[in-house]
Structures are given as C-alpha cells and as structure tokens.
Amino acid sequence: MLARQASSTVFRDFTLLMVLGFVAMVVWLLPHVNPPASQSDADPPGNVVVAITWPEGDIDVDLWVTGPGELNPVGYSNKGGVLFNLLRDDLGSLPDATPLNYENAYSRGLLEGEYIVNVHCYRCPVVPQRIDVEVSANDGASGKGSRRIATTSLQLTANGQEKTALRFRLDAAGKLEPDSLNSIFRPLRNAK
C-alpha cells in the first residue's frame, strides 16, 4: 500500500513539474512571439500616390495614370504596370459599402521623368461632374511621410469624356521640377 501511494505521489509530482515547465516556457517565449511595432518602422505605401474623389451616386469615373518607364497606362483595364498599380476601381454606388466615390493608384518607386494623371467619365448619368485630384510623393528617406505635389479640381461635362488633370515632371530627388505642372491633354485610356 505504501508503494502504491509513493508511485501516485511521484506521478502527480512529475505531472505538476511538466505543466509548470510548459507554463514557464510559454511565459518566457510570449514577448518574442510578436514584438511591438515601432512607429518609425511604418513607411507609407507607395512613392507617388494619386487619388481622385467625386460626388456620391451611381457615377463611375476612372483614374488613368502613367509615368517614366510605364509601358501601358494604368487604369481599369490594366490595373498593374511597371511603375503604377490601380488599387481601387470604384464603380459607383454598387457594390459599395459606403457612399464615398474614390479611386487611387500607387507607384513602386520615385523615378525621374514625366507623370500624367487623367480622369475619364465612364458612366456619368448626370453632368457636369466635379472631380477632385490629389497627388502626393514619399521619397522614403526623409521619414516625414508624404508631401503633396499638386491638387486640382476639374469638371467632366459629357459621358465618355477624358481629361488630363495633371502633368508634371519629377527630378532625380523626387522633387517637382519648376514650371512643369500643367494640364495639356494627352489621351491615356486608349493609348498603347
């Protein structure tokens, strides 16, 4: 009887030590599983960010962008290019969770050369439509986040109309070249 009591005590002690050892290892490993993120580690996405917004409703306005080295302009039918990616292609009210209408494109680099931003009234049952355009840049080195390059507003007055909102040149440091900002039309939607 004494032997049976001793073996059950040894078994309980051994089991308790195993559980305590496991708990100690988990407590020791927890801080290393997912270290807290540092705010300075978070870089804003993209180097050149182009965003357009337009009024609520079942209106589909499309963003078209191109930049240095881009083989084909980026828009709804070509969502990814060499330099730019179209991240949101808003179709209007449906199938949207919010009434906000916007599209945006991000570049993977800050290259020297000309950038063109066009808007196209794909489905505009009511005209004129006011479109707000904002372009910002992030060089990644300054650590200050994005800086605004240009903003503009324009009116689309017909269904199917395409307009150049902004044309500009960036230098090798990613700064806007003086006197390069304009809106001289260059079609992008059907360009190859």
pLDDT category at 40 given cuts 50, 70, 90 is: low
Q: 152 falls in which pLDDT band (50, 70, 90)? A: very high
**Domain definitions of the chain by residue range:** 2-35, 43-170
* Burial environment of residue 103 by CB neighbours within 10 A (0 to 12, 13 to 18, 19 or more): buried
Taking only the tens place, the pLDDT of each residue in 49-73 is 999 999 988 889 999 999 998 999 9
Tokens of 181: 């900002």
- For 88-128, what is each residue's pLDDT tens digit? 888 887 777 788 889 999 998 889 999 999 999 999 888 89
Structure tokens at 14: 């051994």
pTM over 0.85: no
